[in-house]
Amino acid sequence: MLQTLHDYFWWERLWLPVNLTWADLEDRDGRVYAKASDLYITLPLALLFLIIRYFFELYVATPLAALLNVKEKTRLRAPPNPTLEHFYMTSGKQPKQADVELLSRQSGLSGRQVERWFRRRRNQDRPSLLKKFREASWRFTFYLIAFIAGTAVIVDKPWFYDLRKVWEGYPIQSIIPSQYWYYMIELSFYWSLLFSIASDVKRKDFKEQIIHHVATIILISFSWFANYVRAGTLIMALHDSSDYLLESAKMFNYAGWKNTCNNIFIVFAIVFIITRLVILPFWILHCTLVYPLELYPAFFGYYFFNFMMGVLQLLHIFWAYLILRMAHKFITGKVVEDERSDREETESSEGEEAAAGGGAKNRPLANGHPILNNNHRSWKTERVNG
């Protein structure tokens, strides 16, 4: 049965145009072709990325945060209370009014004290400013290097200037070492993002981020299997062109450089809209949808690849909406915040203020996202991240 599933999965008609077989893509005469087995290396490379990230955040991002004077606001901790803690862990972090009244009777606290306890407890679970800065620093470094390297890989290729050449000779198109390593490194990085997503900073577009990472991994893997490598390199470089701008804006935001952050965000928004809502659908998607049909009949791989591209495009439209909403707030002079972020809650009662600092009014606690995630992404991120 397993052999039957294996044979069906690798059936040529799923992956290749009519009248072509895997034998046509066997290495010969010094020409090397993409093979599914090449991708095995991406899983250990993803683990290597996680190790590199750990040391990068410890020995590069943390000192950089200190240099830029990234400071954490003091958070008031919720006092130990087994009754409230049990409810928080098992029933929810946002008790309803009826729950507050019940917990008030069970714990011997007033309703206002119960609400205050839950506010402080939720704030305790929110990621620190330093954690956000280190995550943004890591993603900024990778995306910038990836964009420069990706541009170097494709800028001297004829299909970079003439998209019809993407399909010239397809699928019998050999690959070169720079394309191989560009693919392996990009795919490994997105595997590492998927592995670390549970411990990374969570935002309101958490589900969209998972969909983005999974769709990206599937697209990169499939494009390698089916030898859509030329199109794949163009798509990856296009995505990397804006991601590093988002992450750098976050870094300056966390450091308190608001003007610099806002200016970079404007540049990011322009680049994102041009690359994701103009170049990608009207050039790249046109290239993958129209030009192949001039050479061979549509097959499953053609439909699957373009379906996954459509999924990514829908995510880009979703993130573009968030970007434009933030840009509107910025232009109209309103406080601009990350539409995906979970803001820290402020202490508001006089009793709390006195307990916190002798009656001095508490200032609202910053959440580390006045304007913006990944990161990025982050609503990108990119992974908008893409």
- Of the candidates 386, 72, 375, 75, the residue with the CA atom closest to the CA atom of residue 251: 375
Compute the distance between CA of residue 140 and CA of residue 138 in angstroms, rounded to an integer: 5
Residue 295 CA to residue 313 CA, distance in Å, equals 25
Q: pLDDT value at position 339? A: 52
DSSP 8-state assignment for residue 52:
H
Contacts of 352 (CB under 8 A, 6+ apart): 76, 116, 362
| Residue 377 belongs to some domain of the structure | no
**pLDDT of the chain, 386 residues: tens digit per residue:** 777 887 778 888 788 888 888 888 889 888 999 999 999 999 999 999 999 999 999 999 999 999 999 977 777 788 888 888 888 888 888 889 988 888 898 888 898 998 888 888 888 878 888 999 999 999 999 999 999 999 999 999 999 999 999 999 898 999 999 999 999 999 999 999 999 988 887 776 678 788 888 989 999 999 998 899 999 999 999 999 999 999 999 999 999 998 899 899 999 999 999 999 999 999 999 999 999 999 889 999 899 999 999 988 998 999 999 888 887 777 776 654 555 555 555 554 434 433 333 433 333 333 333 334 333 333 333 333 33
pLDDT value of residue 46: 97
How is residue 287 written in tokens?
Answer: 């290239």
pTM of the model: 0.78
Domain of 206, in residue numbers: 127-330
Domain end call among 123, 158, 188: 123
Please give the Cα distance from 381 to 12 (Å, whole number): 34
Same domain as 241, residue 157:
yes
- Condensed to tens digits (0 to 9), the pLDDT of residues 192-216 reads 999 998 888 777 667 878 888 898 9
Residue at token pair 């434009």: 324
> What CA–CA distance (Å, rounded) separates 378 from 247?
8
Say how many CA atoms lie within 13 Å of 128 toward its Cβ: 11
Residue 40 in domain: no
In a domain, 32, yes or no: no
Please report, for the domain that includes residue 87, its CATH number. Answer: 1.10.10.60
Is the same domain home to 220 and 150? yes
User: CB of 329 within 8 A of CB of 53?
Assistant: no
Neighbours of 26 (CB within 10 A): 11
300 in the same domain as 277? yes
Q: What pLDDT sits at residue 48? A: 97
